[in-house]
């Protein structure tokens, strides 16, 4: 962490905040605002953290937004992200050498691979300079942040969670939010599809407690590796060795059989009783909504160790853009070669951060036969973490760059027809709130690989079209049109919902000559001129099987919050919002410096 801070300082990527700031809401709100600035703002080092309600002052600084820009990502990787992807491609396509010189070259490459495997040391690590056991254990001595007002408590947000299979043959490094219940218990947010949850099942069936070690800090690449979507059973720390050309140096935990990097800042060790579950949450998550309180396993802490000179590493999640935008960018680039082994005709893919990654993927492919894009959709929905993706849009290889949103949207809309839609069902991320039931829901694929001839509608001004809509639909509060120069303009209508939106769609069918795609959103909390946040809202709020309406020439999308009018029986969560009084206090003290236009645009 010390080396990381010096690296950030040297490259003018660090902002030091010496003001007294609270771990309850204030520090997370400042980090949340910073990453909304152009190019991700700066990494933030808080040197004077306190907990006002207990009067506690923490000696260690808190580092946030460390990955929060493209530049910082590459600084932390120590190389270009593309070079890592190229190396993985080379490994995947390694062939037996034909001549003597090729054999020598291959031998050199294979010899260098010895450095990717973690090394276990017999000695203790600097992460164990201070040891707390028994009655000395106190999680409250660590400056764990409470990010949002409705959160169930403080949460560790950048913990590296080390686990192993029951037989000890497989190890896993993952990142899961960890709720602090009291001085020696943590809530383990192990979603049912994750590797640690699979290990948990093994211990549960055997009637045994499960060992867990949680590290915080050290080289930030350990933290990134915890998010890497590697196949089941592959040690994520192999990626650390591949990137740095140095093996991770591991030491054994004091009270569990697990090994952790020797240079991390904190280690929390413990055992999970597989017979005990406790309510975890709510938590303002990266979807921009709160995930609801549910039952999850509990860790009883058996030891806490730490460096004498330590730094607490944390992140903040909520509405986009956030630090995960840049971490996700690196992940997408690096693991593209692995994805191509499943779908070899894939040319490129992109996960827009304002769709929360799992809510939307844009993909470019080389279509070779009729139905090829639909085959790709099934491959995506069956490939590891890609299986959580709700919506996929496929373009052909001649499409513009996927990150050029204006041009790629125009390209797609000029060939879209209602027949381009493919609706299915599959597994969903546990964080998804919009499906009728948890973990399973609608999937939407859009095949834009074929150059369909599409007749454009008659274009009216938004004012004139709104007058026509209002005449048929008094509940409409506003109307805005996007991409009017394409064959399929998008009409967004804000409403005060009094009935199921399908009924509103049917009422508007007589206006099909003037519209092609109509999207309904709630009038409250939505700016219908803000495309960035509309994409966030709508991709979060729809279940394709329930919320896509198709007529002969008109497609409807229900992006409203769901309730009993829609037959929705689950609890609908609140948006993640900053607490106004906290922002006002930070402004008054001259610490908050986000321009109001950014605060409004990103709906803080």
Model confidence pLDDT, tens digit, residues 467-483: 999 999 999 999 999 99
Please determine, for residue 295, whether its predicted confidence score (pLDDT) is greater than 90: yes
pLDDT value at residue 93: 54
The whole-model pTM stands at: 0.92
Confidence band for 104, pLDDT divided at 50, 70 and 90 = very low
Return d(Cα 173, Cα 177) in angstroms, integer.
Answer: 13
Overall average pLDDT of the 168-196 stretch: 88
Return d(Cα 151, Cα 282) in angstroms, integer.
Answer: 5
What residue ranges in 203-340 does DSSP mark as E strands? 210-216, 249-252, 259-261, 266-280, 283-284, 290-291, 294-306, 312-314
Matching residue, tokens 């803000």:
530
pLDDT value at residue 96: 54
Question: Torsion-angle region of residue 568: left (phi > 0), alpha (psi -120 to 50) or beta?
Answer: beta
Overall average pLDDT of the 399-428 stretch: 95
Closest CA to 241 of 215, 261, 258, 217: 261
Return d(Cα 537, Cα 36) in angstroms, integer.
Answer: 17
Closest CA to 157 of 148, 145, 169: 145
Question: Taking CA 329 as the corner, what is the angle to CA 423 and CA 317, rounded to the nearest 5 degrees?
Answer: 85
pLDDT value at residue 111: 46
3-state helix, strand, coil in the chain (%, to 5): 30, 25, 40
Return d(Cα 226, Cα 234) in angstroms, integer.
Answer: 12
Confidence band for 450, pLDDT divided at 50, 70 and 90 = very high
Please determine, for residue 106, whether its predicted confidence score (pLDDT) is greater than 70: no
Q: Please indicate whether residue 98 or residue 177 has the higher confidence score (pLDDT).
A: 177
Closest CA to 347 of 321, 369, 325, 376: 376
Estimate to the nearest angstrom the gap between the alpha carbon of 56 and the chain centroid.
32
- Burial string for 114-126 (b: 16+ CB within 10 Å, else e) reads eebebeeeeeebb
The answer to whether domain 2-78+117-314 has CATH 1.10.3190.10 is: no
DSSP 65-124: -TT-SHHHHHHHHTS-HHHHHHHHHHHHT-----SHHHHHHHHHHHHHGGGGS-EE-SS-
Start-to-end CA span in the chain (Å): 30
Overall average pLDDT of the 548-556 stretch: 94
User: What is residue 602's DSSP assignment?
Assistant: T
Return d(Cα 160, Cα 313) in angstroms, integer.
Answer: 11
**Stretch(es) of the chain classified as CATH 3.40.1670.10:** 323-448, 462-566
**Is the previous residue joined to 57 through a cis bond, with omega within 30 degrees of 0?**
no
Confidence band for 336, pLDDT divided at 50, 70 and 90 = confident
Note whether 324 and 357 are within 8 A (CB): yes
Return d(Cα 546, Cα 558) in angstroms, integer.
Answer: 9
Q: Please indicate whether residue 190 or residue 603 has the higher confidence score (pLDDT).
A: 603
Q: Which residues, including other chains, have CB under 8 Å from residue 249's CB and lie 6 or more apart?
A: 118, 119, 121, 125, 261, 262, 263
pLDDT value at residue 494: 98
Q: Average pLDDT of the chain?
A: 92
The tokens of 573 are what?
């969560």
Estimate to the nearest angstrom the gap between the alpha carbon of 381 and the chain centroid.
17
**What distances in angstroms separate CA 308 from CA 25, 171, 216, 263, 297, one per listed residue?**
26, 28, 14, 12, 31
Matching residue, tokens 């004077």:
48
Model confidence pLDDT, tens digit, residues 569-578: 999 999 999 9
Class of domain 323-448: alpha beta
**What distances in angstroms separate CA 390 from CA 321, 387, 545, one per listed residue?**
19, 8, 11
Overall average pLDDT of the 360-385 stretch: 87
Confidence band for 108, pLDDT divided at 50, 70 and 90 = low
Cα four-point dihedral sign 9, 12, 17, 22: negative
Q: Please indicate whether residue 338 or residue 35 has the higher confidence score (pLDDT).
A: 35
**CATH classification number, 462-566, choose in 3.30.470.20, 3.40.50.150, 3.40.1670.10, 3.40.640.10:** 3.40.1670.10
Return d(Cα 442, Cα 270) in angstroms, integer.
Answer: 38
**Listed range (231-240, 410-419, 577-586) with the worst mean pLDDT:** 231-240
Q: For a pLDDT cut of 70, what percent of the chain falls above it? A: 95
By the 10 Å C-beta count (0-12 exposed, 13-18 middle, 19+ buried), 363 is classed as: buried
Please determine, for residue 100, whether its predicted confidence score (pLDDT) is greater than 70: no
Adjacency order of strands within the sheet including 119-120: 119-120, 249-252, 259-261
């Amino acid at each position: 962490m010390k080396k990381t801070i010096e690296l950030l300082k040297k490259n003018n990527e660090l902002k030091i905040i010496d003001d007294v700031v609270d771990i309850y809401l204030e520090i997370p709100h400042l980090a949340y605002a910073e990453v909304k600035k152009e190019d991700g703002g700066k990494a933030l080092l808080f040197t004077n953290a306190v907990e006002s309600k207990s009067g506690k002052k923490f000696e260690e600084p808190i580092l946030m937004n460390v990955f929060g820009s493209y530049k910082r990502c590459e600084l932390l990787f120590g190389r270009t992200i593309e070079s890592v992807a190229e190396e993985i491609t080379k490994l995947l396509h390694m062939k037996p050498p034909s001549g003597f010189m090729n054999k020598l070259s291959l031998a050199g490459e294979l010899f260098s691979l010895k450095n990717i495997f973690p090394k276990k040391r017999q000695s203790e690590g600097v992460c164990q300079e201070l040891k707390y056991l028994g009655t000395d254990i106190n999680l409250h001595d660590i400056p764990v942040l409470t990010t949002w007002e409705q959160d169930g408590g403080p949460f560790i947000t950048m913990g590296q969670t080390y686990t192993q299979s029951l037989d000890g043959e497989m190890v896993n490094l993952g990142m899961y939010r960890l709720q602090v219940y009291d001085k020696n218990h943590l809530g383990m947010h192990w979603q049912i599809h994750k590797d640690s949850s699979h290990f948990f099942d093994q211990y549960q069936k055997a009637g045994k407690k499960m060992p867990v070690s949680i590290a915080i800090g050290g080289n930030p690449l350990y933290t990134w590796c915890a998010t890497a979507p590697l196949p089941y059973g592959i040690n994520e720390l192999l990626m650390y060795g591949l990137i740095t050309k140095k093996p991770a140096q591991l030491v054994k935990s004091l009270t569990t059989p697990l090994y952790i990097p020797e240079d991390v800042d904190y280690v929390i060790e413990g055992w999970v009783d597989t017979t005990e579950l406790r309510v975890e949450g709510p938590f303002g998550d990266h979807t921009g909504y709160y995930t609801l309180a549910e039952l999850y396993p509990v860790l009883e802490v058996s030891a806490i160790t730490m460096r004498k000179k330590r730094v607490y590493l944390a992140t903040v999640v909520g509405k986009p853009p956030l630090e995960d935008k840049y971490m996700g960018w690196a992940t997408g680039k690096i693991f593209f070669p692995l994805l191509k082994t499943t779908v070899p005709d894939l040319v490129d893919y992109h996960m827009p951060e304002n769709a929360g990654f799992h809510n939307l993927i844009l993909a470019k492919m080389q279509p070779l036969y009729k139905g090829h894009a639909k085959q790709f959709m099934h491959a995506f929905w069956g490939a590891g973490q890609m299986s959580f993706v709700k919506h996929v849009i496929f373009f052909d290889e001649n499409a513009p760059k996927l990150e050029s949103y204006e041009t790629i949207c125009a390209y797609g809309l000029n060939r879209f027809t209602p027949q381009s839609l493919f609706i299915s069902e599959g597994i969903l991320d546990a964080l998804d709130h919009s499906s009728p039931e948890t973990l399973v829901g609608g999937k939407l694929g859009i095949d834009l690989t074929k150059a369909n001839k599409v007749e454009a509608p008659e274009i009216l001004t938004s004012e004139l079209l709104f007058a026509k809509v209002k005449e048929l639909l008094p509940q409409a509060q506003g109307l805005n049109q996007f991409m009017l120069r394409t064959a399929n303009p998008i009409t967004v209508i804000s409403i005060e919902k009094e009935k199921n939106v399908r009924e509103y769609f049917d009422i508007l069918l007589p206006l099909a000559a003037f519209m092609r795609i109509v999207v309904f959103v709630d009038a409250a909390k939505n700016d219908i001129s803000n495309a960035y946040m509309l994409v966030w809202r709508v991709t979060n709020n729809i279940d394709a099987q329930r919320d896509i309406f198709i007529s002969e020439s008109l497609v409807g999308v229900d992006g409203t919050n769901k309730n009993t009018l829609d037959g929705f029986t689950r609890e609908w969560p609140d948006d993640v919002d900053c607490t106004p009084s906290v922002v006002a206090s930070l402004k008054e003290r001259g610490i908050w410096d986000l321009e109001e236009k950014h605060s409004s645009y990103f709906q803080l």
